[in-house]
């Protein structure tokens, strides 16, 4: 039923050319003053202080969605061999989806975009627009991407990303930002009494290791289930590790790839008023096991439906409660310096969010499972019932590979700008950042 494992569709032939361009970019930016690293006295150098534990209060959840599909040709992000070529049409829309969770004392907002990734400036600009109005603390705001390889590029001024994704388009940036704002504002306005639960299952047959035949995978499929007060399901957020690369670099039509098909299939199951969202996990070296079909768009739809069916099973087995303990923590972390990192930022954001007795760990790029699985185990040892790794969150710094994978080489290792110590850097930072609290009412 499933296709035989194949070489990753990451444009191996173009990888050498893209890396050459990256080196040229490094030479250009080498003469620019680097951004100042966070120092001990800076507010951003330490984790944002968490507020005192919340009192038990009624849970409310809201959803919002907004379409940001451009109506003119744009560069597509995701494959280096496109080299900024413009789209030729639209197959299906790309969207901003948001969920807001409030318990009377704290409010968590999560916006997910059908993009290859997001960088800190997008998070900063979006939070500047909505943070004060909606009462969102920095540590309680999440921005992530589905890692769509057929969505808009042209959204960053960073030269090294422009090489593969096209020149910065101010009008497109403004459109995406405005629609993301509309989605989170709609979700906040939609807040209503709800029940919530997080559950996990194992789905090993829908992803594979794209670097090593038969190599390690992350089979965890996690769901955040939201019910109405009467217990009927209203929303499902799915967290799973698989690259949205069913559509290859030859596709030049805008599409959300399988995350869009997954959301469509789940919303059909949920019925009127239902909402679905997809968040990446440690997908760095994970590809989807898509079924055979007449064409790639049919494979996208079929895979989305298969993944939706598995998510539905997990959601059906996930209990919900009408209260939720909420707590976020955020820190700006200094990154290792390597010859390749000269073209990258010196710091990034790491974040954890506790919802009930589960913890979300936000990863600012594409973590491979050689780092992701140990990191999840490390955080789980601190007490939470479940740990969700959320990739492409709050920033996009390329790939993060284990020391072994860094030595072995390959596309992912070549695109790891911070060397074999990046995993240890993240492990230390998350160990300081996560202070798990036993939630009330569980």
149 or 17: whose pLDDT is higher? 149
> Are the C-beta atoms of residues 358 and 198 closer than 8 Å to each other?
yes
Residue 68 domain boundaries: 1-442
Q: Please report the pLDDT score of residue 80 as a whole number.
A: 84
* pLDDT tens per residue across span 222-275: 999 999 999 999 999 999 999 999 999 999 999 999 999 999 999 999 999 999
The domain tally of the chain equals: 1
Is the pLDDT at 106 greater than 80, yes or no? yes
Is the pLDDT at 41 greater than 70, yes or no? no
Q: Please report the pLDDT score of residue 259 as a whole number.
A: 98
- Spatial CB neighbours of 125, under 8 Å, sequence gap ≥ 6: 177
Average pLDDT of the residues in 273-291: 98
Q: Please report the pLDDT score of residue 50 as a whole number.
A: 42
Average pLDDT of the residues in 161-187: 92
Q: Please report the pLDDT score of residue 161 as a whole number.
A: 78
Q: Please report the pLDDT score of residue 346 as a whole number.
A: 96
For the record, the structure tokens of 326 come out as: 């909420």
CA–centroid distance for 419 within its chain: 22
Beta-bridge partners for 225? 197, 236
* pLDDT tens per residue across span 377-412: 999 999 999 999 999 999 999 999 999 999 999 999
Q: Please report the pLDDT score of residue 198 as a whole number.
A: 98
* pLDDT tens per residue across span 199-229: 999 999 999 999 999 999 999 999 999 999 9
Cα 305 to Cα 292: distance, rounded to the nearest angstrom: 13
**Quick one: what percent of the chain has pLDDT higher than 70?**
86
**pTM of the predicted protein model:** 0.88
Name the residue with tokens 């995993």.
423
């Amino acid at each position: 039923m499933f296709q035989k494992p194949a070489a990753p569709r990451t444009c191996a032939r173009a990888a050498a050319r893209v890396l050459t361009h990256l080196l040229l970019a490094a030479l250009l930016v080498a003469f620019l003053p680097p951004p100042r690293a966070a120092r001990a006295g800076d507010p951003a150098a330490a984790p944002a202080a968490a507020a005192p534990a919340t009192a038990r209060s009624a849970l409310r959840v809201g959803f919002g969605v907004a379409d940001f599909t451009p109506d003119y040709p744009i560069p597509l992000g995701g494959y280096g061999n496109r080299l900024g070529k413009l789209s030729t049409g639209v197959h299906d829309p790309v969207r901003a989806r948001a969920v807001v969770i409030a318990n009377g004392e704290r409010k968590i907002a999560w916006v997910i975009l059908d993009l290859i990734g997001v960088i800190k400036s997008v998070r900063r600009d979006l939070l500047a627009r909505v943070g004060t109005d909606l009462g969102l603390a920095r540590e309680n705001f999440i921005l992530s991407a589905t890692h769509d390889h057929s969505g808009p590029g042209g959204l960053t001024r960073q030269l090294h990303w422009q090489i593969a994704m096209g020149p910065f388009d101010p009008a497109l940036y403004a459109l995406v930002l405005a629609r993301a704002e509309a989605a989170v504002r709609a979700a906040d306005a939609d807040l209503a009494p709800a029940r919530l639960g997080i559950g996990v299952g194992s789905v090993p047959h829908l992803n594979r290791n794209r670097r090593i035949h038969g190599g390690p995978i992350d089979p965890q499929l996690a769901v955040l289930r939201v019910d109405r007060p009467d217990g009927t399901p209203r929303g499902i957020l799915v967290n799973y590790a698989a690259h949205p690369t069913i559509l290859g670099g030859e596709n030049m039509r805008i599409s959300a790839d399988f995350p869009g098909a997954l959301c469509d299939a789940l919303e059909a199951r949920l019925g009127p008023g239902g909402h679905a969202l997809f968040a990446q996990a440690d997908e760095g070296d994970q590809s989807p096991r898509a079924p055979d079909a007449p064409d790639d768009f049919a494979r996208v739809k079929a895979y989305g439906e298969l993944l939706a069916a598995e998510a539905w099973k997990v959601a059906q087995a996930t209990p919900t409660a009408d209260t939720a303990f909420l707590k976020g923590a955020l820190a700006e972390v200094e990154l290792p310096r390597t010859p390749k990192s000269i073209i990258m930022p010196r710091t990034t954001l790491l974040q954890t969010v506790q919802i009930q007795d589960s913890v979300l760990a936000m990863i600012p790029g594409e973590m491979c499972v050689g780092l992701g699985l140990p990191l999840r185990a490390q955080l789980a040892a601190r007490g939470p019932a479940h740990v969700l790794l959320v990739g492409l969150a709050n920033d996009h710094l390329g790939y993060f590979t284990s020391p072994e994978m860094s030595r072995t080489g390959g596309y992912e290792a070549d695109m790891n700008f911070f060397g074999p110590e990046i995993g240890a850097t993240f492990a230390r930072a998350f160990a300081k950042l996560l202070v798990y609290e036993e939630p009330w009412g569980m």
